[in-house]
Amino acid sequence: MLDRFTNIFKIPELRDRILFTLLIFLVYRIGGHVPVAGINAGALAEFFQQNANTLFGLYDMFVGGAFQRATIFALGIMPYISASIIFQLMGTVVPYFQKLQKEGEEGRKKINQLTRYGTVILSALQAGGVSIFLERLIATSGTPVVPTPGFGFRFLTMVTLAAGTTLIMWLGEQITERGIGNGISLLIFIGIIDRLPYAIIEEAQMVSAGTRHIMVDVFFIAMLFAITMAVVALTQGMRKIPVQYAKRVVGRKTYGGQSTHIPLRVNSAGVMPIIFAQSIMFVPSSVATFLPEGGFHDALVSMFASQGATYLILEALLIVFFTYFYTAIVLNPVDLADNMKKNGGFIPGIRPGRQTSDFIDSILSRVTLPGAIALALIAVLPTVIVSQFNVSYNFASFFGGTTILIVVGVTLDTLQQVESHLVMRHYEGLMKSGRIRGRRRM
């Protein structure tokens, strides 16, 4: 295995791409520790310690703790992801965007450019909201987070955070073009992995202090390996529908005649259903932080307590719903059937057209069900571990939820690209099978 790893650095292009990616990571992490002017960092950290399991804590996880520290990268890449989702959804209902999606490479470039503009607009709006939000925050000790609020602070914060998000978007695109892997996904990956050393140190301190037996941590390690294997299987699992293309003779050339397949993944929606469901479930507890204690505040807190049975059941049901919803957006059986018919393709035993789309839809519905249930189980697993084993959520988050899905998915995608570079230059790949399938990018 070590010989295979050293092969990476024998290929100049691959070595340069990896070193360039690592350099971008360094710039991203440095920016994640440069604070915005006019913030009381101690008071802000105190507030987030009390609101780790709210919508603010979820957002902070995706930006690697930059939101909690109120740095220039506090918004992270989330405005870009939001803009991408908006244009993806618009592609299903707005004819103009439907036309762009069917124009191939040129249409994709236009959508990417519109997504960049949308990212700048969204980041500016969110930055303005964050500045107002920070001005109203008061730590539990009574210290205001912003000592000198006003228009100057709001304007400076809005410009700083919007520029930071634009820079992150550019860094991600540079990784995609000149580095290795999908840049946006890798930046989210680095922000999540940044919390792992702190979680390990926290567990090691508990073992050394005698508050936790070492065999419990051994059990956690074995559980983590088992969960990772299950997530890899979920990410890679697919149902292949055979497709046959008829032969066409044009002049002296013969086209078609080959057999291929349509890969329908068990988890076509990726991590998005969990993000949507958790965002909705965190809204009541986030609203409760701004309400006075007693009455409605206490009812919201008790009903949507993150470790309560009601919360877990509702979250699981929402994840199943959003899995089907997002799968229906990214995979349209009617479009698949029409494209096959235009290119002379057909599924053996199924008539082209309506019957083909109905057949694909029925297969997709059955394949998506186990994927949706698996996503729901993965999402609630960290909460169950916290309640049953009395561990911190920072440590338990690596056993499920969006964390493990993003880490596994991005790792597989990056390994697939490294593998392709090695095999293309006649080097032995990192994996014996040589068949790592990359996931759908975020």
- Using DSSP's 3-state secondary structure scheme, residue 241 falls into strand
The number of beta carbons lying within 10 Å of the beta carbon of residue 211 is 9
Give the C-alpha separation, 284 to 278, whole Å: 11
- Give the model confidence (pLDDT) of 162-186 as tens digits: 999 999 999 998 998 888 888 888 8
Considering the chain, what is the average pLDDT of its residues?
79
Among 232, 280, 228, 231, smallest CA distance to 58 is for 280
Q: What's the one-letter identity of residue 60?
A: D
64 pLDDT more than 60 = no
Q: Which of 251-260, 368-377, 390-399 has the highest mean pLDDT?
A: 368-377
Report d(CA 265, CA 96) in Å as an integer. 28
At 279, give phi and psi (nearest 5°): -60, -40
Is the pLDDT assigned to residue 23 strictly greater than 90?
yes
Whether pLDDT at 442 is above 50: no
What is the spatial distance between Cα 301 and Cα 278, in angstroms, rounded to a whole number?
Answer: 16
> What is the average per-residue pLDDT within 378-398?
80
Tokens of 422: 């090695």
Determine the residue type at 222: A
Q: What is the pLDDT of residue 174?
A: 92
Q: d(Cα 306, Cα 296) in Å, to the nearest integer? A: 17
Of the pLDDT bands very low, low, confident and very high (cuts 50, 70, 90), residue 429 is low
Q: How far is CA 34 from the centre of its chain?
A: 24
For residues 7 and 268, which has the higher predicted lDDT (pLDDT)?
268
Distinct helix (H) and strand (E) counts, the chain:
19, 5
Q: Please report the domains of the chain, with CATH numbers, ordered by start residue.
A: 1-194 (1.10.3370.10), 211-399 (1.10.3370.10)
pLDDT at 24 over 70: yes
**pLDDT digits over 127-166, tens only?**
888 888 778 777 767 778 788 888 888 898 889 989 999 9
pLDDT for the residue 441: 45
Helices (H), 76-213: 78-90, 95-101, 105-136, 151-178, 183-193, 196-209
What is the percent of the chain with per-residue pLDDT over 70, rounded to a whole number?
81
Single out the residue of 288, 294, 269 nearest to residue 56, CA to CA: 288
Are residues 359 and 336 in contact, defined by beta-carbon separation less than 8 angstroms?
Answer: no
> What pLDDT shows up at residue 142?
73
